[in-house]
Chain A
Amino acid sequence: MMSAIGIPIIGAVAILVVGKISSNARAAVVLLTAGALVWVVAGLLLNLQASQLEVVQIAEIVPGITIALRAEPLGLIFAALASVLWVINSVYSIGYVRANNESNQTRFFVFFSLAIAATMGVAFSANLFTLFLFYELLTLSTYPLVAHKGDESSVRGARVYLGVLLVTSIGFFLPAIIWTYALTGTGDFVTGGILQGHIDGPVVGLLLGLFVFGVGKAAVMPVHRWLPAAMVAPTPVSALLHAVAVVKAGVFAITKIVLYIFGGDFLGAEASIKWLPYVAAFTIIAASIVALHQQNLKRMLAYSTVAQLSYIVMAIGMINPLANIGAMLHIVTHAFGKITLFFAAGAIYTVSKKTELNQLRGIGRRMPWTMLAFSIGALSMIGVPPTAGFVSKWYILAGAIQTDHYAVIATLVVSTVLNALYYLPVIYLAWFGLERSGQENFGQGQAAPTIEHAEAPGLMLIALMATAALTLLLFFFHQPVVQLIERLAHGV
């Protein structure tokens, strides 16, 4: 596991060194590191038995508080997801950066691999302190990525990004962690939770609230403002942020806390935590409605991410094995679906410099492959059968029915309808809309006349098609992932 964190850091240093020499060498190093990471994580995944239980302790900060890593199933799924998508994202970003000849690309890739190192740390953390340490490192390493362009709007966006994440982490997350350490004397993730008997009554609800709103990265409603603000970043960064690393780390952290700190059965009996599914439900509905009104493609995708994340939080909030499986599965499916959408948006922007929804009229004819992938991704978001999105929503729905949690069922239905309402028109216009010539479709005075452009550049296309294919494949071969999750459910 140590190597899982080590490799991206070594990669970052290598890129820093090689970066000055030539861009090809740098691209090679990036791919090499990504490949090595996948190799290591796959190794861990295969011999799951041996590696998972022993705890690797790196440092003892204060008696009782240590930096320790442990490869348990949940962490492994997230690490595998992040490493696979990192490979694809690297391919995509090399193409994107070449096409748009972005400034100081070395810094871009260095912080990119540092962010991945932090994500691995979050995935394998064995106690609350290590989780918080890598969580903060993730925030700090992604800040320069969000502020990459360096112009006024991106600096302001990055300021909001950093502000909200630091406020929530120092304001709520840190006190919650210290409160847990004070209560139980330890912060280790133990299957079945450690808070049993140390705390009861409404205080549990308060502690959970501190955790949920402390982890700003999970973008539950009041603390979600950083996500749309981070849209100023270049697309591969938004892809990384919103599909692979940052948001997933947030939701993954909440899942780990709910399962390993509070513990399923302890929370089941506790009355004071019933509010969690309702807060998540509210976030889903509100975010979907806001996404409906969005004109900018990336902002719409951002709000849709906020909604999708709250699916996971809602499913976890229901404290039911089926729903848990649904939640973890949704982490994977949403990642593939959303990253495809972002890749498509990036491709469209690279080639045609179009960002607004009404500009995409009839773009399907010009960029068939990109729009095909976009459609698969959109369908996966809605949860239409051939795509993976359907499977995870199915499990969550099954969980909701099992605990006859009517509010959740209603939310699922309403949100699926809302998803359809804001994704389908885009696909329809793209394929069947007529490409209006001249000015009228650039109403808001954006001087971007329809220029002749062909399909997206090769590298980006490969990445796009890969993630789209994975979304479809996952629908048919989701069994291995589910088995892995079930092993977790039985407390292995």
Chain B
Amino acid sequence: MTVFFGVFLLTLLLIVAIAIVRADNLFVAVMLGGIFSLLMATIFFLLDAPDVALTEAAVGAGISTVLYLAALALTAEREKRHTVHQIKALVVVTTTALLVIFATFDNVQFGDPTAPVHVHVGPWYLENTQRYMDIPNVVTAILGSFRGYDTLGELFVVFTAGIGVLFLLGTRPKKDTEAAETLIPQQSETSEGLRNYLIPRLTGRLLVPIILLFGLYVQFHGEYSPGGGFQAGAIIAAGIILYALLEGETAALRVVPQWMLMALMAGGALLYGMVGVVGMLLGGQFLDYSVLADNPVTGQQLGILLIELGVGMTVSGVLLSIFHAFAARDKY
């Protein structure tokens, strides 16, 4: 069965990819991008990677589609048909592809347990997670503690993206702002968003709380089931963005004001860092959670819980402020 599913999904994936590249209308391309991410999520799930599938769905399908659409709203909808240096591109691309395929000629078996990948470091994690952390989800154990430094770096990548977008879009745009003031009719508080469309308003009212609840569940249930800071942050951000779409951007800003976004972003990163520093102060190494509590195992669990919270806070803060930065753009 999984063989059939694998082949089907992969071919579908390639077809969607080619469709994206050939699509002239950028809106179509973005929608296909969403489908592309969902296909990737299912393939990941098929390959026993539930955590990654959840992230790909939440981040790939959810947030990136929202960001692309926000950007499209501000720029051209349709791509001008102008493929510039086609032959050069084909040549470069085929050489890279040949180089990659050349690598697979050797004895690369798919899924055989004796491959070096599964012999060396991998199994050590599987045995020792129970001993050190006693939590079922090994991926969260590695993410949180064994390779916690990677996740700290990861957190700061998101933080940099947030900083970058706020910095770039912080300036007042060059568009002749005086004309813009007069042209766009002052959107009254009520006419914003989809308030007076019946269906979205009703379903939205129902959906938003459920999404936020699910987000919190994913956040704090990361050790037992697939989930964790990144996924939770993305889901919570998606929930609030849905609320913004329904009630209008100013309403959403009243719910989660700008200073709180900045506090969330910086607070999360600081929380993660401080957990590491506290570990150092208590005599362990940087990011060593076993010293956090008297019993090392509870210390590890406490550490993982805290850093997942930090990650969740920062990711949601960053994604929301990016959305607001884009959304605020077309007001001017």
- Verify whether A and B have any Cβ pair under 8 Å: no
Q: What residues make up the interface of A, taking CB atoms closer than 8 Å to B?
A: none
Q: What residues make up the interface of B, taking CB atoms closer than 8 Å to A?
A: none
